[in-house]
């Protein structure tokens, strides 16, 4: 039986790695991967707490997040491909379409 | 209104009340109507009818002449005055009728007007035959004749005024008949405006007459009655009314100080001068006084004195001017002024002078028309109005010479021609009424008249011919009327001859029939005066060549006469030019700069205000709004630096935010 | 609905309907549009003539009355009718409009666009005609203002060089006046008991002494200001020469012929009967302004170099005679005024036709440039012009005479029971007399400079056509009317006698 604090530590590390990837990577695909890391870190937490509290709702949420993450990656990759087609680049620094 | 007279037909056809009145008198409304219809006919069909429409005019006036003779016959038989009318229009309390008033005076005037008009229209066949506006000439002549006849038969002042002014406009049209020349059209305007200056007071005088009846009627008999009866009308009112009415006479009969138009009016064709400016229209002013004589008699005696003073000035002043004229028509024009003044002076002598004045009008119409037509015949032959280019025409124009001589002798007052009888009558009346000064003035003027008449005859027919070409006698259409008028001139005087019963006085009178009587020494004196004038004229001008012998002898005085006492110049410089050019320009200046200036100024001020408001609006009101917007904008500008568009930067912010919130959350908890 | 109560409405609104119909016609149909204009105005004229023929001139009061609810909220009613005062002006409106429509058959000033032109002309006709038959103040005001817009465009679009200035000046001037007039109407509405805009009811109310003297003086001032601009009375006249000079021919004809009369008509119909006390208080002042206008306009005419402007200024003087007649507050004076309105409409309308045709040939209105001798080249046009000019200077036997001379006669003795001073009015009379002399002076001088003399060389070869058939068609009725009215003034006096007597009875006269 894995102890809960260890699992939480693991997920925190995983999440931090994700945050770093989102904030620091220039490659859009890498940013998306980093987001996946963060989502999966949350999933780990959900499953860990579900086991510890013997409540299946946590697992349901984990499944839900996986489904959303799949969709999110699908749309995200589509955007990245479009971005690549129009800008010949997937460097997020060069994309500032959201500017005012 | 002449048209309205037509309705009288029905009226008179079934008028048993006047069964004793002859058909001619009851049909007197036809006398003006016929020439009026002729004028319309010639206007619209003249060019397409034979003779250019002239036969229409001559036929109409001929018929009118016959009717007039019939009317006169009624008077000769001692018929009473006849009046008939139909309603014309009503305005408020004032009921105006169209009607005729036939008495001795009107009957005589009808004969004068129609006969002279007939003669002149026949004469014009020859005189005007080559004129490019021949037809139009006959239109206006006929219209004029109709208007004059309307004046004569009017039984009310409104109708009289209508005829009076139409005469005036016909006179304008005929003086300006040859309007290509600027001088002619100017003379026409001068005539119209000058007479109008007299007409306006006359119209006010008519108002006074109408007001005297309480604005009930414009009928001449009723108004003059109302005035003469006195009643609520004060003597001052009466005197002013009479003087105002006399204004019409001063204008139309060209008395001083409005005499200036008549000599210039000679710019018209000569037949016109004969008809309008010698025999008929100018006599209408005298007729007006006669028609409203009760008013003048009932008014303050000072009124009649004023009338005689005006007449006296005109009489002698104009006669003197006639001496200094070179234009043969102008000699006659000034003569006309002078002779009209005789008539007016005669009327100013009261009831006795009434008959004498109108007798002179009657005789003068014939001999002056004759003189003008004869002068026209001369002008027709020599193609000039100037007597410098005439002379010696006795041989080449025998008919013209003889007839004109008859006219001239009549004008000079030589027995037994027309002018002698009427002047003699005036002298007798002046003497009888004790108006001695007028008596001597009549006499003096008679001498001057004989002088200038002789001058005219001598310069025209005696000596040698000074013009160009070969003058020859005029055609029968012109000579015929001359002979007819000469015959009339020879005989009409006897109508007033006391030795033959002076029948004229039984036709035309006020109060009671006028009894003329002979004063032998006056007749001798006047004849002597006339002969003296003729003798002087003959002696002075017998050998005249070119320069006038009197001119050298009179010196500066001659110059004054030539310049017509400088009266025309005075009017031009003191009235016409200042009003026409300067006063009018001043008004326009005021209009443009003061009144319109105020309007445009108001517009300018309004626009200025609008601009101010616009400025305030833009900079103050809108400034506040824009200021708020600007503030928002600039603060947004600052904030926008946070908005880099870099998603990762957003994520950093998010992260920082979450951290911060977490810290805060933890601290609170 | 019977003919009796719908005749006025049908006749008055027919041109408006015509205008709408023309608006639906395609643009290119030039002949059709102009033909429609002639047809509509012609039918309207026939209807108006039918009204005039069916009118009982002996009976008092209004006829052909229609009085129905209109705007309940403000008690405004659709009240129309006609009496002897309105009748001559009403018929004249349709006559002149018809003749203008005929004239437009050939003459349409630049920039063309017959559709708009004819439609506006018809709109104008409805407005003018309606003013003369409205017996409700609001209805009156609506028609009054309705006239402004088409005339504004007629001047502003089809006018000559300075048209925009003239159009705006005309519009603002009139609008300025009518605002005061509207305020006056409102004041009467609120003061009347029960509140009403009906002219006849207000008249009865005023007759019963409903309006205090002070109130009347203020309201009369406001209403008279609006009317005076339209007349125009001196010194509110300066829009007129500009508007006339710049307007196209038919604009000038209608402006002079009808629109000016709306002002004087307003005095007779509204200002006098509704505010009787104030009317007699103001009368000497109106008389004074009228007398000044007569002399002033005549002098101004002497100095004009522009033919059309001269005629325009002469209108100021003629309307002065009309106002002088009204100011005397007598039966004779007011009848003279109405006659003067009709005569001026006919004569000055005709003068503007003549001047328009002269301009059309010479392409200049400057007297000096025309240079005289018109009678040589165009004898018919020249004699017509002379005939009308002589009529305008007031020759007896022609229409212009009666209005002027009767107005002067009335001022010989104004209504003394109302406290008008005869001495003062005799001064006005003398000024009027001087005015007639000056009037004769400038008209004859004008004829001398335009008609007479020798034709200048520059026009000798110019294609100056004498009067055309279409001109004779549109002018003959007016030329005949000038003579007929002159010889038989009963034609108008017979209509106005009864209603004017009734009007004066309001003054206890």
Nearest residue in chain B measured CA to CA from C405:
B203
B94-102/B82-91 β-pairing: antiparallel
Q: Are B89 and B96 in contact (CB under 8 A)?
A: yes
Q: Are B55 and B49 in contact (CB under 8 A)?
A: yes
CA–CA min distance C169, chain B (Å)? 9
Within-domain flag for C402: yes
Whether B588 and chain C come into contact, CB under 8 Å, resolves to: yes
C146 C-beta neighbours (distance < 10 Å), count: 18
Predicted pLDDT at B232: 63
Q: Do A19 and B648 touch (CB under 8 A)?
A: no
Asked if residue B16 has pLDDT above 50, the reply is no
Tokens read off for B121: 């229209």
Q: Do B2 and C487 touch (CB under 8 A)?
A: yes
Select from B645, B650, B655 the residue whose CB has the most chain A CBs within 10 Å, as the one to mutate to test that interface.
B645
Nearest residue in chain A measured CA to CA from B644:
A99
Segment B135-156 mean pLDDT: 92
Distance set, CA B228 to CA A79, B234, B289, B306, C171 (Å): 122, 11, 14, 19, 57
**pLDDT per residue as tens digits for the range C223-268:** 999 999 988 888 888 888 888 888 888 889 999 889 999 999 999 9
Structurally, how many domains does chain C consist of? 1
Q: pTM score, two decimals? A: 0.84
Backbone angles phi, psi at B96, to 5 degrees: -105, 135
**What is d(CA B588, CA C303) in angstroms, rounded to the nearest whole number?**
7
Whether B251 and chain C come into contact, CB under 8 Å, resolves to: no
Q: Do A92 and B647 touch (CB under 8 A)?
A: yes
Helix (H, G, I), strand (E, B) or coil at B101: strand
Distance set, CA B434 to CA B349, B352, B425, B562, C138 (Å): 10, 12, 14, 35, 76
Q: Where are the domains of chain A?
A: 4-87
Within-domain flag for C406: yes
Tokens read off for B342: 């005789």
- Dihedral in degrees, nearest 10, Cα atoms B383, B385, B387, B388: -70
| All residues at 6 or more sequence positions from C282 whose CB lies less than 8 Å from its CB, including other chains | C217, C220, C221, C224
Within-domain flag for C103: no
Q: Do A22 and B645 touch (CB under 8 A)?
A: no
Q: Which DSSP string corresponds to B40-64?
A: HHHHHHGGGSGGGGHHHHHHHHHHH
pLDDT band of residue B170 (cuts 50, 70, 90) is very high
Q: Do you know the residue count of chain C?
A: 509
Q: Do B91 and C406 touch (CB under 8 A)?
A: yes
Predicted pLDDT at B545: 67
**What is d(CA A66, CA A52) in angstroms, rounded to the nearest whole number?**
20
CA–CA min distance B643, chain A (Å)? 6
Whether B579 and chain C come into contact, CB under 8 Å, resolves to: yes
Q: Are B79 and B22 in contact (CB under 8 A)?
A: yes
Q: Do B648 and A31 touch (CB under 8 A)?
A: yes
Closest CA to B295 of B203, B229, B247: B229
**C390, C436, C487: residue with CB nearest B200:** C436
**What is d(CA A65, CA C112) in angstroms, rounded to the nearest whole number?**
78
**pLDDT per residue as tens digits for the range C331-371:** 899 999 999 999 999 999 999 999 988 988 888 888 888 88
Tokens read off for B312: 């006296």
Select from A16, A18, A23 the residue whose CB has the most chain B CBs within 10 Å, as the one to mutate to test that interface.
A23
Angle between helical axes of C137-158 and C199-207 (0-180°, round to 10): 130
**pLDDT per residue as tens digits for the range C414-433:** 888 888 888 899 999 999 99
**What is d(CA C435, CA C411) in angstroms, rounded to the nearest whole number?**
14
Closest CA to C307 of C447, C143, C166: C447
CA–CA min distance C114, chain B (Å)? 33
Backbone angles phi, psi at B177, to 5 degrees: -55, -40
pLDDT band of residue B113 (cuts 50, 70, 90) is very high
Tokens read off for C277: 């006390």
Segment C190-210 mean pLDDT: 86
**What is d(CA C93, CA C342) in angstroms, rounded to the nearest whole number?**
10
Closest CA to C90 of C48, C118, C56: C48
**A23, A93, A100: residue with CB nearest B652:** A23
Q: Which residue has the tokens 């002075």?
A: B540
Q: Which chain C residues touch B188 with a CB distance below 8 Å?
A: 444
**What is d(CA B488, CA B116) in angstroms, rounded to the nearest whole number?**
11
Closest CA to C153 of C107, C177, C125, C121: C121
Query: Residues B579, B582, B584, B590: is their CA dihedral positive or negative?
Result: negative
Predicted pLDDT at B231: 63
DSSP letter (8 states) at residue B583: I
Q: Which chain A residues touch B645 with a CB distance below 8 Å?
A: 95-100
Nearest residue in chain B measured CA to CA from A93:
B646
Predicted pLDDT at B11: 45
3+ Cβ–Cβ pairs closer than 8 Å linking A and C: no
CA–CA min distance B624, chain A (Å)? 26
Predicted pLDDT at A98: 64
Whether B610 and chain C come into contact, CB under 8 Å, resolves to: no
**pLDDT per residue as tens digits for the range B535-567:** 988 888 887 766 677 777 787 888 888 888 888
Q: Do C437 and B89 touch (CB under 8 A)?
A: no
- Alpha-helical regions (H) of C363-378: 367-370, 374-377
Select from A16, A83, A93, A94 the residue whose CB has the most chain B CBs within 10 Å, as the one to mutate to test that interface.
A93
Segments forming the whole domain that contains residue C425: 283-509
Predicted pLDDT at B654: 84
Helix (H, G, I), strand (E, B) or coil at C188: helix
Select from C239, C396, C416, C445 the residue whose CB has the most chain B CBs within 10 Å, as the one to mutate to test that interface.
C396
**pLDDT per residue as tens digits for the range C283-342:** 999 999 999 999 999 998 888 888 999 999 899 999 999 999 999 999 899 999 999 999
Select from B632, B641, B651 the residue whose CB has the most chain A CBs within 10 Å, as the one to mutate to test that interface.
B651
Considering only residues B269 and A99, tell me which one the structure prediction assigns the higher pLDDT: B269
The verdict on domain A4-87 having CATH code 1.10.287.3510 is yes
Q: Which chain B residues touch A22 with a CB distance below 8 Å?
A: 648, 651
**What is d(CA B180, CA B518) in angstroms, rounded to the nearest whole number?**
53
Q: Which residue has the tokens 């003798």?
A: B535
Predicted pLDDT at B1: 43
Asked if residue B151 has pLDDT above 90, the reply is yes
Segment B102-131 mean pLDDT: 90
**pLDDT per residue as tens digits for the range A34-57:** 999 999 999 999 999 998 888 888
3+ Cβ–Cβ pairs closer than 8 Å linking C and B: yes
Q: Are B582 and C300 in contact (CB under 8 A)?
A: no
CA–CA min distance C227, chain B (Å)? 17
| Percent over 70 (pLDDT), chain B | 95
Predicted pLDDT at C508: 65
**pLDDT per residue as tens digits for the range B282-300:** 999 999 999 988 888 888 8
CA–CA min distance B645, chain A (Å)? 4
Predicted pLDDT at B10: 41
**pLDDT per residue as tens digits for the range B348-406:** 988 888 988 999 999 999 999 999 999 999 988 888 888 888 888 888 888 899 999 99
Considering only residues B13 and C106, tell me which one the structure prediction assigns the higher pLDDT: C106
């Amino acid at each position: 039986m894995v102890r809960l604090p260890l699992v939480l530590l693991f997920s925190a590390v995983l999440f931090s790695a994700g945050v770093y990837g989102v904030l620091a990577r220039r490659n859009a695909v890498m940013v998306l991967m980093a987001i996946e890391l963060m989502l999966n870190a949350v999933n780990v937490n959900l499953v860990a707490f579900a086991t510890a509290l013997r409540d299946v709702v946590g697992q349901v949420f984990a499944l839900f997040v996986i489904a959303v993450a799949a969709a999110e990656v699908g749309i995200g990759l589509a955007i990245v491909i479009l971005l690549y087609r129009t800008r010949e680049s997937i460097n997020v620094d060069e994309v500032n379409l959201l500017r005012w | 209104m002449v048209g309205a007279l037509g309705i009288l037909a029905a009226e008179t056809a079934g008028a048993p009340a006047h069964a004793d009145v002859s058909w001619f008198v009851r049909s007197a409304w036809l006398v003006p109507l016929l020439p009026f219809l002729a004028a319309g006919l010639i206007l619209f069909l003249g060019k397409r009818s034979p003779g250019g429409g002239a036969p229409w005019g001559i036929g109409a006036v001929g018929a009118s002449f016959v009717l007039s003779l019939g009317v006169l016959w009624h008077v000769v038989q001692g018929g009473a005055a006849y009046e008939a009318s139909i309603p014309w229009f009503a305005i408020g309390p004032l009921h105006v009728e169209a009607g005729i008033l036939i008495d001795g005076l009107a009957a005589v005037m009808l004969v004068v007007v129609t006969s002279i008009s007939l003669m002149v229209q026949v004469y014009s066949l020859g005189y005007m035959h080559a004129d490019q506006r021949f037809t139009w000439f006959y239109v206006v002549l006929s219209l004029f004749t109709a208007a004059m006849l309307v004046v004569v038969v009017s039984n009310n002042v409104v109708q009289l005024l209508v005829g009076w002014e139409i005469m005036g406009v016909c006179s304008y049209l005929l003086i300006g008949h040859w309007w290509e020349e600027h001088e002619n059209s100017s003379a026409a305007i001068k005539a119209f405006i000058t007479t109008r200056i007299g007409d306006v007071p006359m119209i006010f005088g008519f108002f006074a007459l109408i007001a005297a009846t309480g604005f009930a009627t414009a009928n001449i008999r009723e108004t003059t009655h109302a005035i003469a009866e006195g009643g609520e009308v004060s003597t001052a009112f009466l005197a002013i009314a009479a003087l105002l009415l006399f204004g019409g006479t001063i204008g139309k009969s060209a008395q001083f100080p409005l005499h200036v138009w008549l000599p210039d009016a000679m710019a018209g064709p000569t037949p016109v001068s004969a008809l309008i400016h010698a025999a008929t229209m100018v006599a209408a002013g005298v007729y007006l006084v006669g028609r409203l004589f009760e008013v003048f008699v009932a008014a303050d005696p000072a009124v009649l004195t004023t009338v005689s003073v005006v007449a006296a000035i005109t009489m002698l002043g104009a006669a003197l001017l006639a001496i200094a004229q070179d234009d043969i028509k102008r000699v006659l024009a000034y003569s006309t002024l002078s002779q009209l003044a005789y008539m007016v002076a005669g009327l100013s002598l009261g009831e006795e002078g009434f008959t004498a004045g109108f007798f002179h009008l009657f005789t003068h119409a014939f001999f002056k028309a004759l003189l003008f037509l004869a002068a026209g015949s001369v002008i027709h032959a020599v193609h000039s109005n100037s007597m410098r280019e005439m002379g010696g025409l006795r041989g080449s124009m025998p008919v013209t010479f003889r007839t004109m001589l008859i006219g001239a002798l009549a004008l000079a007052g030589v027995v037994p021609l027309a002018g002698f009888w009427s002047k003699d009558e005036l002298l007798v009346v002046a003497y009888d009424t004790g108006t001695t000064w007028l008596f001597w003035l009549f006499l003096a003027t008679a001498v001057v008249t004989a002088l200038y008449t002789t001058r005219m005859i001598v310069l025209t027919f005696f000596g040698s011919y000074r013009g160009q070409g070969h003058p020859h006698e005029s055609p029968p259409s012109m000579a015929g009327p001359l002979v007819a008028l000469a015959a009339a001139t020879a005989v009409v005087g006897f109508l007033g001859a006391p030795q033959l019963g002076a029948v004229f006085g039984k036709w035309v009178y006020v109060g009671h029939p006028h009894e003329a009587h002979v004063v032998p020494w006056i007749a001798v004196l006047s004849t002597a005066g006339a002969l003296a004038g003729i003798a002087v004229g003959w002696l002075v001008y017998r050998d005249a060549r070119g320069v006038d012998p009197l001119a050298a002898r009179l010196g500066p005085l001659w110059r004054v006469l030539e310049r017509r006492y400088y009266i025309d110049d005075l009017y031009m410089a003191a009235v016409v030019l200042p009003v026409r050019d300067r006063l009018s320009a001043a008004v326009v200046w005021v209009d443009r700069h003061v009144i319109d200036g105020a309007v445009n100024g108001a517009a300018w001020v309004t626009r200025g205000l609008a601009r101010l408001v616009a400025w305030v609006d833009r900079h103050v009101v809108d400034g506040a709004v824009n200021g708020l917007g600007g503030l928002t904008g600039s603060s947004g500008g600052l904030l926008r630096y946070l908005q880099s568009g870099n998603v990762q930067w957003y994520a950093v912010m998010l992260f920082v935010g979450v951290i911060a919130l977490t810290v805060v959350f933890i601290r609170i908890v | 609905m019977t003919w009796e109560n719908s005749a006025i409405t049908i006749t008055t609104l027919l041109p408006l309907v015509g205008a709408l119909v023309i608006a639906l016609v395609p643009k290119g149909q030039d002949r059709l549009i102009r033909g429609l204009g002639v047809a509509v105005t012609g039918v309207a004229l026939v209807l108006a003539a039918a009204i005039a023929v069916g009118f009982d001139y002996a009976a008092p009061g209004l006829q052909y009355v229609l009085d129905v609810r209109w705007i309940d909220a403000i008690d405004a009613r659709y009240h129309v009718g006609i009496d002897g005062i309105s009748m001559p002006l009403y018929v004249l409106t349709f006559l002149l409009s018809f003749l203008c429509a005929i004239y437009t058959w050939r003459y349409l000033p630049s920039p063309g666009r017959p559709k708009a032109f004819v439609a506006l002309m018809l709109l104008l006709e409805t407005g003018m005609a309606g003013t003369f038959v409205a017996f409700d103040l609001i209805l009156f005001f609506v028609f009054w203002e309705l006239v402004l817009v088409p005339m504004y465009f007629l001047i502003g679009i089809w006018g000559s060089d300075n048209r925009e200035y003239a159009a705006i000046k005309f519009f603002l001037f009139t609008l300025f006046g009518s605002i005061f007039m509207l305020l006056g109407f409102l004041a009467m509405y609120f003061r009347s008991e029960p509140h009403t805009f009906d002219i006849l009811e207000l008249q009865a109310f005023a007759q019963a002494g409903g309006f205090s003297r002070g109130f009347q003086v203020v309201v009369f001032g406001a209403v008279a200001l609006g009317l005076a601009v339209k007349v125009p009375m001196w010194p509110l006249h300066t829009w007129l020469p500009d508007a006339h000079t710049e307007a196209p021919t038919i604009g000038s004809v209608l402006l002079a012929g009808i629109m000016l009369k709306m002002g004087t008509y307003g005095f007779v119909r509204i200002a006098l009967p509704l505010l009787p006390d104030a009317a007699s208080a103001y009368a000497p002042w109106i008389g004074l302004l009228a007398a000044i206008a007569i002399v002033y306009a005549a002098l101004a005419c002497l100095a004009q170099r522009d033919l059309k402007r001269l005629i325009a200024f002469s209108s100021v003087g003629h309307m002065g005679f009309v106002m002088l007649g009204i100011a005397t507050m007598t039966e004779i004076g007011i009848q003279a005024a109405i006659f003067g309105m009709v005569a001026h409409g006919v004569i000055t309308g005709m003068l503007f036709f003549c001047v328009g045709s002269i301009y059309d040939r010479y392409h200049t209105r400057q007297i000096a440039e025309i240079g005289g001798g018109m009678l040589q080249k165009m004898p018919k046009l020249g004699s017509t012009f002379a005939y009308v000019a002589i009529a305008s200077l007031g020759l007896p036997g022609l229409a212009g005479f009666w209005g002027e001379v009767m107005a002067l006669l009335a001022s010989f003795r104004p209504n003394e029971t109302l406290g008008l001073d005869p001495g003062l009015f005799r001064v006005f009379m003398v000024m009027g007399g001087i005015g007639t002399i000056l009037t004769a002076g400038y008209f004859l001088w004008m004829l001398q400079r335009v008609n007479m003399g020798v034709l200048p060389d520059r026009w000798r070869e110019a294609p100056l056509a004498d009067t055309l058939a279409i001109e004779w068609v549109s002018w003959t009725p007016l030329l005949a009317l000038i003579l007929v009215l002159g010889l038989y003034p009963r034609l108008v006096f017979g209509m106005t006698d009864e209603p004017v007597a009734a009007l004066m009875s309001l003054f206890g006269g």
